[in-house]
Chains A and B, each alone.
Chain A
Amino acid sequence: MKEISSFIVKNKHHGLFIGCFILSFFLLFSSNSTQNIELFRGRAIDFFSTFYKPITWIKYSYTLDEENALLREKVLQLSLQVSTMQFLEYENQRLQNLLSFKRENQLTLLPSKVINKGILPNINSLTIDIGKQSGVEKNDPVLTPKGVIGKVLIVGEYSSIVQLINDINYRLSVRILPEGDTGILRWYGDNKCQIREVQKNASVHVGDGVVTSGFSDIYPKNLPVGTVSGIIDKSGSFEKIIIVHIKEDIESLLDVFVILNENNASN
């Protein structure tokens, strides 16, 4: 008996290692389906967002002067554009009425600030300062004026975690303009993505725009994604691989928009 207990004490670290290792494996392969873990993570980001906020405030104060100057310049540019746009809008409205064109997308954009970009050595998620209280739901698309950057993965009461486009598990159904060929986009590295499953006879050129296809339930169609920067057309392959340049610098994100679900937007 004494020998058994001394054996256990002597090898307790091996036992603990096996236990922790198995538990981690279980968490790694079951996390996507376990709602309790998601709920717990939602609570945790709510709690820890109180730590992020002072730091975010300092960060924003630090860049305030620079941002003000930039915004003044932008205001001037935009006021010049507004006069042109007003005329275009009027003309557009008139033509739409003539054609009885019904506008398909009535998007409700909710602005939010990035309060944290995770703590792991490589950035592939971020925390934003809006949650269930603002009407955010799981899988709501997240974008910037330059294009789609991800989707909401976990929603807390006052904050949410966004899965970024550079996450290994992120996929996006896209359409290449102007021809309209479709494919599945995924991260490639160095602000570039790959579109797979594009037909061999598709007519794609460098510089073509890439937008969301609208085939998925998550993303409305025609949201900007990026531009074509390369085409790989191997002779033995059944598909073309399109390289897409993402305009937004993922690392320097400060403000993003969440597209609210229609039901939540009306509330």
Chain B
Amino acid sequence: MFLLSLMRIMHQIKIYILGLTILVIQLLLSDFLSLNGIRPDFILIYLLYISITHGSFKGILLGFTLGIFSDLLGVGTSFGLSPLTYTLTGYLLGILMYHNKIYSQLHFHSVWLCIIFFHFFCTTFIRYQSTVIENPIQFVLLWILTSLYTLGFAGILQIITPLYKKS
């Protein structure tokens, strides 16, 4: 009985334990994978998979928790930005759960790609708000390149475990 309830608890929290592992991996590896100051966001890729397979509720909880941890570990200012954007992304991606049966493959992929681009737009916009007015081209480049770098890794993962089938 005890073992059964322990297994049930473990099943519930394994997503968060794996999330924290991803956070540590991000912490250790992102510096090695840095290209001209741009780094991949493994937390977002994990959030993408969890939200689409487990729905909004778990996506929001995971996004908020990992966001708080990422802000605690790094960036100097804008504390609260990561939980804000990850929560929003987790919520939006979670809506896509079971939608592979409703949407076509092209439609499904377009929606989650738009959400990822929107996530990076929000973070880049808040961090580089003065650049938006003074040098919009540089802002757009920064936004697109940051998004594409992370999406590159998401694309590799897509080959191994397609999101469309996991939803």
Contact = CB atoms under 8 A, between A and B. Distances in A.
Given A45-B73, A169-B77, A250-B37, A13 B57 contact: yes
Interface of A: 12-13, 16-17, 20-21, 23-29, 31-32, 37, 40-41, 44-45, 48, 51-52, 55, 59, 116-125, 127, 153-154, 161-164, 167-169, 186, 188-190, 194, 250-251
Given A21-B87, A51-B24, A55-B28, A116 B80 contact: no
Contact of B79 (A20, A23, A41, A164): A41
B140 interface: no
Contacts of A59: 31
Contact of B146 (A32, A122, A186, A188): A122
Nearest to B40: A121
A55 B29 CA distance: 9
Nearest to B141: A189
A167 B57 contact: no
Interface string B20-43: 000110111011001011111101
B27 A48 contact: yes
B115 interface: no
Contacts of A120: 39, 41, 70, 74-75, 82, 123
Interface string B107-135: 00000000000001001100111110011
Given A189-B131, A190-B138, A24 B73 contact: no
A31 B94 CA distance: 28
A256 to B, nearest CB: 14
Nearest to B41: A121
A251 B37 contact: yes
B64 A121 contact: no
Contacts of B61: 16, 20
Contact of A24 (B56, B84, B130): B84
B78 interface: yes
Interface string B65-91: 001101111111111111110011001
Contacts of B142: 122, 189
Interface of B: 23-24, 26-28, 30-31, 34, 36-41, 43, 55-57, 60-61, 63-64, 67-68, 70-84, 87-88, 91, 94, 120, 123-124, 127-131, 134-135, 138, 142, 146, 149-150
A154 B142 CA distance: 27
Given A25-B80, A31-B78, A51-B24, 12 more contacts: A13-B94, A24-B64, A24-B81, A24-B87, A59-B31, A120-B75, A122-B39, A122-B146, A124-B75, A124-B76, A162-B76, A168-B129
Contacts of A45: 72-73
A17 B85 CA distance: 11
B84 A28 contact: yes
- Interface residues of chain B: helix, strand, loop or mixed (majority): helix
- Which of A32, A40, A189 has the most chain B CB atoms inside 10 A of its CB? A189
B87 to A, nearest CB: 4
A52 B32 CA distance: 13
Contacts of A27: 68, 71, 79-80, 83-84
A127 B76 CA distance: 10
A194 B130 CA distance: 11
A117 B31 contact: yes
Contacts of B128: 122, 168, 189
Contacts of B41: 120-121
A52 B27 contact: yes
Contacts of B79: 27-28, 31, 37, 41
- Which of A16, A48, A119, A163 has the most chain B CB atoms inside 10 A of its CB? A119
Contact of B31 (A40, A116, A167): A116
Q: 4 tightest A-B contacts by CB?
A: A27-B80, A118-B74, A28-B80, A24-B84
B151 to A, nearest CB: 12
